[in-house]
Amino acid sequence: MKIAFVIPWYGDIPGGAETECRQTAENLQKSGLDVEILTTCVKQFLSDWNTDHFKEGTYKENGITVRRFSVRKRDTKKFDQVNFKLMNDCRISPVEEQIYMENMINSDDLYSYIRDHGNEYNHFFFIPYMFGTTYYGSLIYPEKSILIPCLHDESYAYMHIFKKMFKDIKAVIYNSEPEKELANRIYDIKGHQIVMGAGMDTDIPYNAQRFRDKYDIKNDFLLYAGRRDSGKNVSLLMEYFARYKESCDGNLKLVLIGKGELTVPKEHMHDIIDLGFVPLEDKFDAYAAATLFCMPSTNESFSIVIMEAWLCGTPVLVHADCAVTKDHCIKSNGGLYFSNYDEFEECLKYFLTDPAKRDLIAKNGKEYVIRNYSWETVIRRYEKLLDVV
């Protein structure tokens, strides 16, 4: 059996869908499947979508054949005008939806390849839902197309242009039960559906003391790791943490790991430590050293980082408005959730004042990840899916 993952950009690059695609492809290849990647020559999400970073051609990356195709030139101004409305939850017309899709990331060479070589592949896996490569690519051979949408409850999901794609697709793979419930509220889905989850390497190495020594952090700290932008609600986390420091005693710090547009206000730099991008070893060590990991985002389809925190022995705190991360916490009993500042403050106090309970909650989370999202478990689910579609 030969399958291909189709994604706008590919490699060891930031992003939950990007990481899920790369790791799933590599692990399916190890299990004996013939796996390829079909992608554009753009480097990553934050790159210029009009510019080829890579030379068009075929590459070998970690044992996977990666076919890269030149990106189509786009009208950035037209796209930004429509995207601004979507980012601000404004309704857009069918004409604007078409402008959005035609001027987001696309590759005519990629679509031609799928059309001309479709008989060589059993299935095409498209990830995530909102990009041109997924929309136009999946329409070529819908009977062979499987969608991994990484769906959030956001304005993009309600665009009418996606309704046909979700209806005609052969199968849909979800990362969580709340994601499946959301998809079925919005779309009329006829194909096979499965809650797969994302696979995790469950034997993460970590050393908490190594992190504390390297960065000279001695106090308890709350950790955030990931993109630092408004979409991840990091500004709310910094606001709530600043309020906590103003009203509560103690030496608790907030440590931020990752790149992004948001910067720490000068008046809070003594309590909020911005480490920026750090090596992978340091990230895992930070999870282990943290008193608590916080993911404030309200739009997640899985959240690899909370899984990593649990695997490194740390409990998590998530936003109650994110159905997915809240569901993980409830099912695992591995974390708490907040919907306002008062609840945020009480959650912090609970974890800080009862280390034994904190360790037990972290243990619950780790067992939940190992039980549900080890690669062995997830690959078995993929094999079962491929037997029935």
pLDDT by position in tens, the chain (length 389): 999 999 999 999 888 899 999 999 999 999 999 999 999 999 999 899 999 999 999 999 999 999 999 999 999 999 999 999 999 999 999 999 999 999 999 999 999 999 999 999 999 999 999 999 999 999 999 999 999 999 989 999 999 999 999 999 999 999 999 999 999 999 999 999 999 999 999 999 999 999 999 999 999 999 999 888 777 999 999 999 999 999 998 899 999 998 877 788 777 888 999 999 999 999 999 999 999 999 999 989 899 999 999 999 999 999 999 999 999 999 999 999 999 999 999 999 999 999 999 999 999 999 999 999 999 999 999 999 999 99
The Cβ-side half-sphere exposure at 360, using a 13 Å CA radius, reads 6
Domain 2-199+374-388 has CATH 3.90.550.10: no
- Per-residue pLDDT, 52: 98
| Cis bond upstream, residue 128 (ω within 30) | yes
**Token pair listed for 156:** 């993009």
- Per-residue pLDDT, 15: 83
- Per-residue pLDDT, 163: 96
Where exactly are the structural domains of the chain? 2-199+374-388, 208-372
Q: What is the CATH number of domain 208-372?
A: 3.40.50.2000
Fold match between 2-199+374-388 and 208-372?
A: yes
Amino acid present at 174: Y
